[in-house]
Amino acid sequence: MKKLLILLGLFTVLGRPALAAPLKIVALVNGEIISTEDFQSRINSFVMNTQIPLNEQTRGMMMQKVLNAAIDEKLKLQEAEKNGISITKDEIKAQIGNIEKKSKIPAGQLTKILKEADVNPQTIHEQVKSDLAWLRLIRKKYYMEGTPTQKEINAALKEAQEDLSTPKFLVSEIYIKKDNARNLSDLVYNLRNDDRFGVYAMQFSDSPSAANGGNLGWVNTGKLPSALETRLKRMNPGDISDPIQVGDGYYILKLNQTFNPKTDKPLIPSSREIKTILENQKMEGLSKKLLQDLRQKAVIEIRS
Per-domain residue ranges of the chain: 5-147+296-302, 165-259
Confidence (pLDDT) at 57: 64
Q: pTM score, two decimals?
A: 0.71
Confidence (pLDDT) at 13: 28
Please name the CATH architecture into which domain 165-259 falls: Roll (3.10)
- The span from the CA of 82 to the CA of 105, in Å, is 35
Read off the pLDDT of residues 56-101 as tens digits, 9 standing for 90 and up. Answer: 767 777 888 899 899 999 999 999 999 999 999 999 999 999 988 8
Please name the CATH architecture into which domain 5-147+296-302 falls: Orthogonal Bundle (1.10)
Confidence (pLDDT) at 11: 27
The predicted model gives 11-21 an average pLDDT of: 35
Confidence (pLDDT) at 173: 95
Read off the pLDDT of residues 120-178 as tens digits, 9 standing for 90 and up. Answer: 999 999 999 999 999 999 999 998 888 889 999 999 888 888 778 889 999 999 998 88
Which has the higher per-residue pLDDT, 210 or 290? 290
- The span from the CA of 298 to the CA of 76, in Å, is 11
Q: Which residues of 192-224 are buried (b: 16+ CB within 10 A; e: fewer)?
A: eeeeebbbbbbbbbbbebbebbbbbebbeeeeb
Confidence (pLDDT) at 63: 85
